Chains A and B, each alone.
Chain A
């Protein structure tokens, strides 16, 4: 399946673009995705935290991803 991942803040700068397209096996989990991205972009592993949002909510490691999900990487937030 094809996943589109939106990138913000420092993750956008690390990857060098605002979205990332990945082809992954069906049923790929958040944990799988993070492991893959950390391998591809080692600087992601140096962040204080890195969460994944699916359809505007925080996902857990075992959340399964689907092709039509709105997926985003969430580096440490600093609003307010």
Chain B
């Protein structure tokens, strides 16, 4: 299991190499990137803030839950960025390896979906004319 929270650019090649495993016939990855618009407003940049110790603890728990649900999982890699990001930057990568492909899709989706629900990381969007903490208000 390789879990990380970093203020440095995420190297996708390195992350995928960490997911490789001789017992795996499938490496599946999800890469989340910064989009240029949000609810119709032009996004200039994003700031990601994390509660580091809890974020790492919760990321480990999500990865462990995935290993319980899919015991055939070989490697699990989750790396999340924090700090200031610009359009096109990689915000998160999830990569998993399994013997066969079906479980790799399912486990990868489970990890990114659960991460978005429980891991204490907050995204502030900066527009040309203002800012918003994403999802803060109904």
Query: Which A residues fall within an 8 A CB radius of B?
Result: 6, 8-10, 13, 46-48, 53, 56-58, 70, 72, 74-80
Contacts and interface: CB of A to CB of B under 8 A. Distances in A.
Contact of A56 (B53, B133, B134): B53
A74 B91 contact: no
Interface in B36-75: 48-51, 53-55, 57-58
Interface string B13-35: 00000000000000000001000
Interface residues of B, number: 30
Contact of B116 (A56, A70, A79): A79
A79 B137 contact: no
Contacts, number: 80
A80 B92 contact: yes
Contact of B91 (A9, A57, A80): A80
8 contacts: A6-B51, A8-B51, A8-B122, A46-B137, A79-B50, A79-B120, A79-B121, A80-B121
Given A77-B122, A79-B121, A57 B57 contact: yes
Contacts of B121: 77-80
A70 B52 CA distance: 13
B51 A53 contact: yes
B137 A9 contact: no
A8 B117 CA distance: 16
Contacts of A48: 135-138
B118 interface: yes
A10 to B, nearest CB: 4
Interface centre among A53, A58, A70, A79 (most CB of B within 10 A): A79
B53 A9 contact: no
B123 A10 contact: no
